[in-house]
Amino acid sequence: MPVFRGVSHVPPGVNIFSDLKTFLFYAEEVEYYTAEYLKRRKQQMKQQKADNYEIRTPVPNPKHTSCNVCGVLFKEGEYKKHIRDEKHAISVKANQNLYNDIDAVIE
């Protein structure tokens, strides 16, 4: 059974507010504190955004020496060089519908 401002036992179906004025007072209070919480939360999210939401290029582990997009083999540590290559860009464009479908599922 929920406790509301000192009311420890309320039978089902009984209104815990004595009148409409009391209900409206508490409804406004809830609305005020909810708005304050949302303001603080948005501010926290803006501060975190720079740190937590930085977009980074995914890099495979060092033993990975082939590209799954275009099937090209490259030497260890040359992944970033490979993804900037024109052949890789052409392969990505050729598979763009696949990537759009993946993005749609993720969103």
Question: Mean per-residue pLDDT for 17-43?
Answer: 90
Instruction: For residue 79, tell me if it sits in a domain.
Output: yes
Q: Are residues 19 and 49 in the same domain?
A: yes
Instruction: For residue 50, tell me if it sits in a domain.
Output: yes
Q: Are residues 62 and 104 in the same domain?
A: yes
Span of 7-16, 29-38, 75-84 with lowest mean pLDDT: 7-16
Q: Are residues 69 and 83 in the same domain?
A: yes
Instruction: For residue 20, tell me if it sits in a domain.
Output: yes
pTM of the shown model: 0.35
Q: Which domain holds residue 45?
A: 15-55
Q: What is the model's pLDDT at position 99? A: 64
Instruction: For residue 35, tell me if it sits in a domain.
Output: yes
Confidence at 17, pLDDT banded by 50, 70, 90: confident
pLDDT in tens, 38-97: 999 988 887 776 555 556 666 677 777 777 777 778 777 777 787 788 877 777 777 666
Q: Which residue has the higher pLDDT, 103 or 72?
A: 72
Domain count of the chain? 2
Cα Rg, the chain, nearest whole Å = 28
